[in-house]
């Protein structure tokens, strides 16, 4: 099993290197950093613009291969270069990454767990009242755009605050400036996290619920479930031990590959709730033509697949004995 995981980790590492390189080459080949400088008023002299772009390794007059070599050399030493403002990309990347992780991880975990559980339950109760309610709710959530869902939650929170006469829910920024005390600071951060976390959780819940319900329906009447019941297992135990276990394997694989996009998928959520994370930074950097920032963000998203993929391989091996047998062979 250890050898299997090492091989998978090496393979994913190669894919991360290729993805990061492709991200830089596409950004450097398509984006136009020169337009950002030349669009300023008053317009800087051409020599000043060229010197600035050359210092930042952004000049389109330098061959793309040469710019890539300089960028790759820096990345190997842990340096993603500088933004168009001359600030280190690394510092901004880590700060923004922390904001995005605090926003996306709790919501995605809550949403995916609830989606898997309720999706499997709905499949078992197919055609009954619980299945109809869960199915209708998940369809409704899938039909509502994320920014509309966030706005609806804000309206509901404002109504609840007015009804209670206390500002229980807050949603602009990460915390209230000047909040005294460590405990009060944590409580204040939690208040600001409730609505954005709920927005991401509901969106993830709808997706995972529909997917898991379909996967569970495929195994309800499978031969191995009928065999388990013929050997004396009750229906509930046979479905949990054999049906759900098999239906979870594709879901785990999907989650590992969606982890990279999850870091960047909260653009609307970050904008609406005043969070300055990676998604917002990516949109702003593309607009400005900031090649180094865009490449760094894409590399961070690609790197997120590594640990998620490793966890997926471990869980898949635990759930599927065929993988363990193949790894041992």
Residue closest to 48 by CA, chosen among 34, 62, 61: 34
Confidence of residue 22 (pLDDT cuts 50, 70, 90): very high
**pLDDT reading at 301 higher than 90:** no
Using DSSP, how many helices (H) and how many strands (E) does the chain show? 15, 0
Q: What is the pLDDT of residues 26-57, one digit of tens each?
A: 999 888 888 877 777 777 888 888 888 889 89
Q: How many residues does the chain have?
A: 329
pTM: 0.78
Q: Nearest 5 degrees, angle CA 314-CA 261-CA 29?
A: 125
Confidence of residue 147 (pLDDT cuts 50, 70, 90): confident
- Cα-to-chain-centroid distance, residue 7: 25
Eight-state DSSP code of residue 72: H
Eight-state DSSP code of residue 63: -
326 or 214, greater pLDDT: 214
What's the pLDDT at 74? 92
Residues 6+ apart with CB under 8 A from 121: 130, 134
Tokens for 269, please give them. 């959520």
Mean pLDDT, residues 168-197: 72
Eight-state DSSP code of residue 290: -
Confidence of residue 182 (pLDDT cuts 50, 70, 90): low
**pLDDT reading at 327 higher than 60:** no
**pLDDT reading at 309 higher than 80:** no
Q: What is the pLDDT of residues 231-253, one digit of tens each?
A: 777 777 777 777 777 788 888 87
CA gap 99, 35 in Å, rounded: 30
CB count in 10 Å sphere of residue 204: 25
Residue closest to 113 by CA, chosen among 214, 207, 233, 5: 207
Indicate the domain borders of the chain: 98-288
**Exposure class string for 319-328: b at 16+ Cβ within 10 A, else e:** bbeebeeebe
Q: Which of 65-79, 134-148, 154-168, 233-247 has the lowest mean pLDDT?
A: 233-247
Q: What is the pLDDT of residues 99-132, one digit of tens each?
A: 888 888 888 889 888 998 999 888 888 888 888 9
**Could you confirm whether domain 98-288 is CATH 1.10.3720?**
yes
265 or 220, greater pLDDT: 220
**pLDDT reading at 314 higher than 80:** no
CA gap 59, 1 in Å, rounded: 48
Residues 6+ apart with CB under 8 A from 259: 304, 305, 308
**pLDDT reading at 25 higher than 90:** yes
**Phi and psi, residue 32, nearest 5°:** -125, 85
What's the pLDDT at 68? 94
C-beta of residue 252 within 8 angstroms of C-beta of residue 319: yes
CB count in 10 Å sphere of residue 27: 23
Mean pLDDT, residues 181-209: 81
């Amino acid at each position: 099993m250890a050898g299997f995981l090492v091989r998978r980790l090496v393979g994913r590492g190669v894919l991360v290197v290729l993805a990061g390189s492709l991200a830089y080459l596409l950004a450097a080949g398509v984006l136009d950093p020169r337009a950002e400088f030349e669009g300023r008023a008053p317009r800087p002299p051409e020599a000043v613009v060229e010197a600035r772009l050359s210092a930042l390794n952004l000049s389109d007059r330098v061959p793309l291969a040469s710019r890539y070599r300089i960028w790759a050399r820096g990345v190997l030493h842990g340096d993603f270069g500088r933004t168009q403002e001359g600030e280190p990309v690394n510092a901004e990347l880590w700060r923004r990454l922390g904001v995005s992780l605090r926003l996306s991880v709790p919501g995605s975990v809550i949403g995916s767990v609830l989606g898997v559980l309720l999706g499997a339950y709905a499949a078992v109760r197919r055609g009954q009242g619980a299945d109809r309610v869960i199915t209708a709710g998940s369809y409704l959530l899938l039909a509502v755009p994320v920014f509309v869902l966030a706005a609806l939650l804000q309206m509901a929170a404002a109504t609840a605050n007015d009804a209670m006469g206390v500002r229980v829910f807050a949603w602009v920024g990460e915390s209230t400036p000047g909040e005294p005390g460590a405990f009060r600071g944590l409580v204040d951060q939690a208040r600001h996290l409730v609505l954005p976390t709920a927005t991401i959780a509901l969106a993830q819940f709808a997706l995972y619920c529909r997917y898991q319900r379909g996967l569970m329906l495929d195994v309800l009447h499978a031969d191995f479930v009928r065999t388990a019941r013929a050997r004396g297992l009750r229906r509930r135990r046979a479905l949990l031990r054999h049906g759900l276990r098999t239906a979870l394997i594709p879901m785990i694989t999907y989650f590992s590959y969606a982890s990279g996009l999850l870091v960047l998928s909260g653009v609307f959520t970050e904008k609406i709730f005043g969070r300055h994370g990676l998604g917002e930074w990516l949109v702003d950097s593309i607009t400005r033509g900031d090649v180094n920032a865009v490449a760094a963000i894409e590399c961070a998203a690609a790197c997120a697949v590594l640990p998620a993929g490793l966890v997926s391989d471990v869980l898949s091996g635990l759930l599927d004995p065929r993988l363990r047998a193949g790894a041992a062979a």
